[in-house]
Amino acid sequence: MTEEPSRGTNPGSPNPELRAADADRERVAEHLRDALAEGRLDMTEFEERLEATYAARTYGELDPILRDLPVGAAPSVSMVKAPAPGGVARDGAGDDWPARIGGEASSQWGVAIMAGFQRKGHWTVPRRFNSFAFWGGGEIDLREARFAEREVVINCVAIMGGMNVVVPPGVEVVVRGIGIMGGFDHREEGVPGEPGAPRVIVTGFAFWGGVGVERKMTRAQRLEAREDRRREKLERREARRAELESRREDRRDR
């Protein structure tokens, strides 16, 4: 009977003692992020496996990290050092902007009268989105949205109510609203946009109300930022360990 190959490696892969590359560790980390998002791992398991991933030096050390995950959540670790297809970044960062601009709007307006409304997740922002809140509130979240055009207008009218516009990092924001006994948040103005990123103009009128504008990362981006900090910590630790080992060898040679 032929033994079934491990789910985490390619059949016929090189010797497990071969050194793994940074790209291999990043691919494993990406599969772990997907497994966390799908609920296959809890946060403690995710952090433990992530630390093991960045500490791994060989393919043999990477293999057990993905072995108990389904094939869909843990594709094989490629032994070919090739760039990601199309150079597309995850969650709207960097090179992904052109792919997020264009298409038919999925929502044109939002209304909250003594209640609330939300536009968030995967939706397509029109060239002009109109919103109205009276004794209520609205949330317009653009972090995972597509944009019908390169420049979009978010028009907010808040009467004794409030609106909150959430934009992802990299987007240029311009605020042109008028407030009477209320106001518009201008804190995110003046931040240069990334090449190819959309421009969001927030305009409208606030009377005894307010329109907030804030810049936030998605949950996946926050996880990636945490991973970057963890990886930097591990790299510093490894550098200190190598330096101490070098000093010991120098003392032995004297």
Question: Average pLDDT of the chain?
Answer: 79
CB 186 within 8 A of CB 165: no
Rounded Cα distance, 74 and 77, in Å = 8
Q: Which residues contact 127 (CB under 8 A, 6 or more apart)?
A: 105, 148, 149, 151, 152, 153
CB 149 within 8 A of CB 128: no
Looking at residue 220, what is its pLDDT? 67
Lowest mean pLDDT among 2-11, 67-76, 166-175: 2-11
Residue position matching structure tokens 């103009």: 201
How far is Cα 27 from Cα 195, in angstroms, rounded to an integer?
26
Query: Tens digits of per-residue pLDDT, 83-110?
Result: 333 333 444 444 488 889 998 888 899 9
Structural tokens at position 93: 């960062």
pLDDT digits (tens, 9 = 90+) for 29-65: 778 877 776 778 887 888 788 888 888 888 888 888 8
- pLDDT for res 56: 84
Closest CA to 147 of 111, 190, 104: 104
Lookup: tokens for 176: 């042109």
- Cα separation values, 127 from 130, 149, 167, 199, Å: 10, 6, 16, 11
Tokens of 240: 């200190």
Least trusted range by pLDDT, from 122-136, 151-165, 170-184, 228-242: 228-242
Percent composition of the chain: helix, strand, coil (DSSP 3-state, to 5):
35, 25, 40
> pTM to 2 decimals?
0.54
**Per-residue model confidence (pLDDT) at position 40:** 82
Q: How far is CA 108 from the centre of its chain?
A: 26
**E-only strand ranges, the chain:** 109-113, 116-119, 124-125, 128-134, 137-141, 146-147, 151-159, 162-167, 172-175, 178-180, 183-184, 199-207, 210-215
Tokens of 239: 């550098």
pLDDT digits (tens, 9 = 90+) for 212-245: 999 987 766 666 767 777 777 777 777 777 777 7
